[in-house]
Structure 1
Amino acid sequence: MVSGAPRVFVSHIAGVAVFDPNGDQVGRVRDLVVTLRLKERPPRLVGLVVEVLTRRRIFIPMTRVTGVESGQVITTGVVNVRRFEQRPTETLVLGELLDRRVRLVETDEEVTVLDVAITQLPARREWEIDKVFVRRGKGGAAGLRRGEQRKALRWRGGGGRGETLTVDWSAVTGFSLEEHGQGAENLLATFEQLRPADLANMLHHLSAKRRAEVAAALDDDRLADVLEELPEDDRVEILGKLEEDRAADVLEAMDPDDAADLLSELPEEDKERLLALMRPRDAADVRRLMAYEEHTAGGLMTTEPIVLRPDATVADALARVRISDLSPALAAQVYVTRPPEETPTGKYLGTVHFQRLLRDPPFTLVGSIVDNDLQPLGPDTPLPEVTSYLATYNLVSAAVVDDSGSLLGAVTVDDVLDHLLPEDWRETELHGPVGVEQLPEDPDGR
């Protein structure tokens, strides 16, 4: 970008692809790093935090960025793949500046930061923040619905619920102060399209303070999905900072097996208190799972597979499979049992795989096409046997049945993988080249 070119608002480059000069993708922008300066001087943009294909976060100095546009970032192609570590003098734009409450210098009025703009200086490849997009009023973006937040980020005009305006960096004050109770609505709106695993990765790299603020701003279902993807320490930390009623609601929204895993990491007193606040049915499912050894089919299974009576039709089965909240592994097959249809069920009759459902007419009864050739797993089946069972029969999920023949749940391949990988696999990042040349020493000293 040359002098006089339009400025770029950071919400427009959050998550965009980063390319080398040959057009090969290096990764995606997850944040921008600035250093705050004295005497109202605009912050200097020192580099980008880029998530490469291995989900490692690296630092790319702005001296190695040749172009910044709304749709892409171009680099010199030579980067250091060492994991990014924030320095005490550095500030993350998306993680720490958005949603901050600051004051207009002229009127001393409190405003909320919705976005900031960066521009390139005439000399060399130096960048700085020159504009701040704010909303008047203490509520800022917190009082807006999520769709309005997105609109506010994309539209740099006034109107709406509280006037919005773009001002010079020198026209606001308060960025250098630590803020308590900082919101997270605009940060979340910026990354709204992230998958739960990617949002969890972003959350993991925030400070404990910002992690708690972002978690508080997420709705229960979204937070439940993210907690399932976080390392153990982060999950316990976040759950512990929620109000107990909210924590119980989030646990109810989680898959029962994941909720059981999380609760098992808490002190007994906290665990029982949260279980008492949960809906009786959800608490009963979690208690049942916690009764099994962790590395057994009973400890691994989910209690919410697709269960149908034998007189249900193929059309009924396909309608259940289409439910968007189901994981691909759970949607791969339905389990046929005698009533009741909620686990633990009546007598388990067998399984109907998704491919078979596609081959038969919609009016066909699932009881007539059930596959009962395979012996189901028992709840005490150890993890190595569960793994061998899935691999031998090329399955992505398998029924777990008790001695009386009732279906207790289903073990899915993703839960098996979670327990086969090292305990810290969510925190461990892959090492080595990422398709770009690695420098032995970064010019920025990192």
Structure 2
Amino acid sequence: MCSEHLDTYYRDRVVAESEITSLQNSSKKLADSEQELIFLTQKHRETIRGGGCVQSGNNNNKRSFLSSLSESTIAEIDAGVLDPQMYFEDSLTWDSKDTTTPPPHRPESPTILQYNLANVFEISPTEEDITGQQAAALASLSQLDVWTVGDVDLLSKFNYFKHQQPQPRLSLALDGVADVTSGSGFSLTLSSKERMLASAVAVKDIDEKWPALVLILSRVCAPSRSYDDVVRALRKEDPSEPIVDYLRDIIYHYSHYFKFSDEVPRNINEREGFADITWPFIRGALTLADIPSRRFEIPVTGTKERKNHGRDLSMETEEQALMADGVALFGDHQIYLAEASLVYEPKLDKQVKDKFKLVRCMRDSWNSQIRSIAREAMPPTGMSVFGSTSFADETKFYAMDFAGTYRLKQVGRMLVPLGKAHFGSRMETCVKTCL
């Protein structure tokens, strides 16, 4: 039963030949109906589809050029709605004695870029996909296509690991994700120095953004202070200070449990534990940073997009998205995803499955955001998405970016307090980690 559930829940590991054919046909239809990738510079003019850069003398070239365009574009040109000169920097005449079309040439510094990447990210990255078509397309979108630290080529090491090592069923390497978190299969193949360099992350100094943070925490969350000590100290702080408001919200969620016991009840369910114990630390930090968030059964947009791309929804059933326990938003983009578990004695296999699910959803969200941004602008170099898994009292935070392959790094860790004793020290660590 468990095996059958996993097969349904985590299918998409390998794209079937019929699905690949469907995607290729979809890509061909897109290429036939749209003008792809137009570059304009002062010295070069071209269209990737070819045809149309001609000189005066022969009207046959007009028909040759128009035949390479979509029917809607031809109709607009013939009706005078669309000016064909928009494709070139010089005036364009349809008559030409010289019918030779120069071979396409990509200028070094294009001034106009129009991308149609609809068929780039849908195929699950197995074997050569991630190092070929996908990496090349992402490199053109200002993402890194190399991963080196000093003289160490980590991308080559990962590709060797992915193809030469037998991979377990839930291996992230099969999804093109180089997991350099502690204990991962790939990280164990690296030397201690390589592992340290591969997993290094740059963390900004939160004291610059929240100058009052250190002083307030030193007064409220001294290491030896219990929950009751923290409550008394917090009452003396200025309630108009945003940091104080954040701390009070955390205390509020604990207050119900600590009114009746010195510990969070051991029979607390997963939702209660996440909503009252873990999420207040995370959501409060997001709110301070002006980032909206939601919790419980939030559909992961990127996963739904991937599952349904190329499907004829008039004939096929729409695939449903996987659900996240927590989400942070930037506009419509899901920039952070969270997975929760019981705060007491969760099943050990859930830790592995939750991380596997989370990372694949992070990959889908990253792809979705790249596609969305590239419709109107160049995506930022080194774009990242974030996520977290909570297992018992521990929450680990992750970041994912792209450098020739997807890279997963751990960027933080916290232990939530479950009892009144030593509440202050754990609260301080959690607040600093989340901020």
Normalised by the length of structure 2, the TM-score is 0.27
More strand by share: 1
Indicate the structure whose relative CO is greater, using CA pairs within 8 Å and at least 6 residues apart.
Answer: 2
TM-score normalised by L of structure 1: 0.26
Q: Which has the larger radius of gyration?
A: 2
Higher fraction of helix: 2
